[in-house]
Structure 1
Amino acid sequence: MTGRFDPFGIAARPAGVRAALVLAGTAVLALASQISVPMVPVPITMQTFAITMIGVLYGWRLGAATVLAWLGEAAIGLPVLANGAGGLAPFMGPTSGYLASFPVIAALAGFLAEKGWTGERVVLSFSAHFLANMLCLAIGGAWLMVLLGVEKGLVLGVTPFILGAVLKSALAAAVLMAIGRRFIRS
């Protein structure tokens, strides 16, 4: 697609290279999951930062596929989630709403980037990441509200994560602006 934000030329790469990028992306997601601030019932991690960045850099389709592959690794027991978790338990407990949102937010960030919400357009880039983060909190928080009630779900699963969403969105926009500037110069 002409004008698409694709600084690494991923869209034009052969299928084998894209498959390798999926594996590399799952490794990045596993590492980002270990950058964690323990909280109950859901820890603060760098997962959403990595997920939205992969969505933007890989494009919405490959980004969502990468996140699904990472979740598949977790489901079969690999310790790729926060605090080294893996297996089916995280998909059935308090974190399951957030996990379900992850491929959706990768696709949303990637889709918005394909519409020009990235690179030099720093406010739109921030907005794309922030919207994706808020969607994650809405889906994850809704599941916690089912489990714990509305008030506890908001207090434990949404409110403490809003500042982090702002900071991660700003960091993502800044990184993508720098990547975009380098890409435009090349």
Structure 2
Amino acid sequence: MIEDSPFITGGNPYENRVERTFAFIDLSGFTRYTDTMGDGEAVKVLVRFRAAVREIAARHGVRIAKWLGDGAMLVGVEPEPLTEAIVDVEHLVHGNGFPLALRGGLASGPVILFEGDDYIGAAVNLAARLCDLANPGEVLAPSAMISSLMVNTTADPIGAHEVPGFAEPMELVRLDAAP
């Protein structure tokens, strides 16, 4: 019953606070591709894309939280494996004849685990907004997050950017996802 929810009755919603890293990835231009090539071809691309994301996520110990049509939300307990997984997905998409480019956003931070399988917090929102800001072929992340990681990729500073929904501009980096 709704009245029994700890969020309604005054329980502590922060009891389920956890540190997580989030990535949102998206096949850029999918709507146009579907319109031009047809639904059947679009589904073929999605089948290949999702199979690749599943394999790479499993290899890095990353969870696919949800599929978002031609994109996905991924979650990791530690930032390094998720960062490496997203770079691997970009390499695969870029180098294997995919007709569309990948774009993505990464962010880490404390969030509330909500109803057992959803996450509420600034890190989730930031990763989603960075994916929206990324150009085709780009993966963006806050520079503060990437500077502390031990990952085998380079991050090119791109300066401070306004991020929709956030009060202050943020220093961002573009992960070098070139194979």
Q: Which TM-score tier does this pair reach, normalised by the shorter chain?
A: 0.3 to 0.5
Higher helix share: 1
TM-score in terms of structure 2 length: 0.34
Higher strand share: 2
Larger Rg: 2
TM-score in terms of structure 1 length: 0.33
